[in-house]
Structure 1
């Protein structure tokens, strides 16, 4: 614990692991300070989508950032496989948001049009498709399906295997993973950061706060801010069944192991020790209305998880003016943006500064008012 590091990453979930892996591949001496697997982290409850659809309404830079991440995911999966031998199960042949009934179809079409019409919008290639085309691409959909949107950039992965691959890759790169070491205090003294943990102090030239919702407490210690608005979500998993779903949906996907995952609830309750049966029932009902044959499958498990969610839903990437070398990263889309975190954010941290366009788009200054959003977007 007396070793000094180039960078200490606080948080060992998908976000922190991706950044730490990226720093390790750049030759940096890195420590990951983590609460460990005793914590029910957000990474264990995610839906594992690599998703561009609907990202960025109100902040076009987020669309551009997400499109960039989707384009780099093949490279990330290949590098992890070559380094660790682990196939993260990336399937990226496009995804759907299905609508039930004409009213839903109309609302979805309006959202697609609004995204296309935003000033500074990036071409996210999302388009509306009628029910007949949906039926051709997704055999077995039910009669209530009225159509939906399709984006060829969308896909999904095996998120637990991705998490394992990042950690195996970190070990191979010499990154020190230090579990059961939650950070209780941060200070910058003598040109370095000192991080207090139950197992002793860790010192580093730079730090990255990637601790999810806990960033809200840690960031002010180094002159940063992380205004968060976490929500709870629930997931249902069915027994394995024969392959039937060639594309993921925003609320339903078949994993590479054959199970079906159903989810997308958003609740204000922040207790992840139980699920709400009423919400579970609504999710299951919608799933079987989309694919009627799902009604015959058994549910094998269900759980809830707390989302890491910045207050406005968009990522936060920032650096401290008062504590040079301190960075904060917060986002909901830990899977989708993993390639950007591994390749782009890690590169910027290694260089000692975030690029101005990134800060202009995603700094917490945007919470000061609409006039605080500077720049036309990060490309």
Structure 2
């Protein structure tokens, strides 16, 4: 039996992961009354497997508006971290000292130079980076291994503790009056006069505006409000070591030392459907690459491992759009929930409550994946 929830918020947010809670927190800061409808722990949570990078370098190759969007979020991250600390007392351990993409061959380094050079040109030169040879890299990262031939470095990159971030967003949004409904599992959204009705396992919720931030669930929910979000899962696996003495004061794309001293190793990308189990073959490759980068890790004990499903669009870039058929319905989906958290809270939220759409978002409609005939049918 469903229960019709009479009291209506200004905005419903479907999804209580990093994307949904960042948007909800931003909406509450804008003065909106918000209800977050979360599927619960039985869902495929991308948030629980995030590597924790606030990463800029290389992103947007092939679609430079994404580079600008990512950079804008990284620039706003200190403001988000400060706001969360003030609202909750939780330090999310933001550090932005710059980051390294480690290379093991001349070909890898040449490819980095090509990609970053193109991005710098497309962004009008405002894209600082350096290519470092092995000697220069060892001066900055003394623990680097002899197989590493160099790296790209940008001062734009950083990292946070993603578990503390999710906790802080949940705490902060509720302190600002957001209602969190767990175990809701929204299956149907019905446009109706004055807004939308979200039908879930235990109730029906109504609001004039709705934001779909349901990760992989957006693929089935978006068409119900005239939107298109053909997202699919991409598995990533992560290893975590015991705590060790500080040795890595900058994040790298594959290895980072957390604020608590443990070492995370990751960066697998696997097309395996909805299988979110760990596999020894992939984890062994991750471990070997980590040891090649930092040889002393061979003697460090591993204490945890997990896998999670990223939310990938066909071209890997985000989808941001308001429905033209049912204005007031928005879709927000990406695979970089940590990096883009500041943009979601501080730029997406004002748009949802009636502000101007951020300039970069014109490049990310879901309709880009439709054929011309299907685009007309959605209009």
Q: Structure 1 length normalisation: TM-score?
A: 0.94
Q: Deviations over 1:270-303 (max 9, x none)?
A: 3444222111111111111111100001111111
Q: Which of 57, 62, 72 matches 1:68? A: 72
Change (3 A) 1:121 1:368: farther
Counterpart in 2 of 1:211?
214
Residue aligned with 2:190, SS: strand
**Quick check: 63-72 or 191-200, which moved more?**
191-200
CA deviation after TM superposition for structure 1 residue 187, in Å: 1.1
| Maintained 8 Å contact 2:93/2:160 | yes
Counterpart in 2 of 1:54?
58
Q: Which of 130, 135, 153 matches 1:132? A: 135
Q: Which of 360, 366, 369 matches 1:367? A: 369
Measure the CA separation in 2 of the matches of 1:116 and 1:358.
17
Q: Deviations over 1:97-138 (max 9, x none)?
A: 0001323222222222333344x5662323211111111111
- Structure 2 stretches lacking a partner, 5+ long: 373-379
| Maintained 8 Å contact 2:106/2:149 | yes
Measure the CA separation in 1 of the matches of 2:159 and 2:254.
12
Counterpart in 2 of 1:164?
167
| Maintained 8 Å contact 2:104/2:147 | yes
- Structure 1 stretches lacking a partner, 5+ long: 371-379
Measure the CA separation in 2 of the matches of 1:4 and 1:75.
31
Residue aligned with 2:350, SS: helix
Q: Deviations over 1:294-339 (max 9, x none)?
A: 0001111111111011111111100111111000011111000000
| Maintained 8 Å contact 2:276/2:309 | no
Measure the CA separation in 1 of the matches of 2:144 and 2:241.
18
Measure the CA separation in 2 of the matches of 1:125 and 1:368.
36
Measure the CA separation in 2 of the matches of 1:359 and 1:336.
16
The 5 A counterparts of 1:1-379 are 1-118=5-122, 123-351=126-354, 354-355=357-358, 357-368=359-370
Measure the CA separation in 2 of the matches of 1:271 and 1:322.
31
CA deviation after TM superposition for structure 1 residue 199, in Å: 1.3
| Maintained 8 Å contact 1:183/1:195 | yes
| Maintained 8 Å contact 2:231/2:312 | yes
Q: Deviations over 1:190-213 (max 9, x none)?
A: 212111011111010100000011
| Maintained 8 Å contact 1:56/1:62 | yes
Measure the CA separation in 2 of the matches of 1:154 and 1:15.
20
Measure the CA separation in 1 of the matches of 2:351 and 2:274.
36
Measure the CA separation in 2 of the matches of 1:121 and 1:239.
43
Q: How many residues align?
A: 368
Measure the CA separation in 2 of the matches of 1:323 and 1:173.
28
Measure the CA separation in 1 of the matches of 2:288 and 2:11.
47
Residue aligned with 1:278, SS: helix
Q: Structure 2 length normalisation: TM-score?
A: 0.94
| Maintained 8 Å contact 2:68/2:360 | no
Measure the CA separation in 1 of the matches of 2:193 and 2:352.
20
| Maintained 8 Å contact 1:235/1:263 | yes
| Maintained 8 Å contact 1:50/1:336 | yes
Measure the CA separation in 2 of the matches of 1:270 and 1:121.
39
Measure the CA separation in 2 of the matches of 1:270 and 1:240.
33
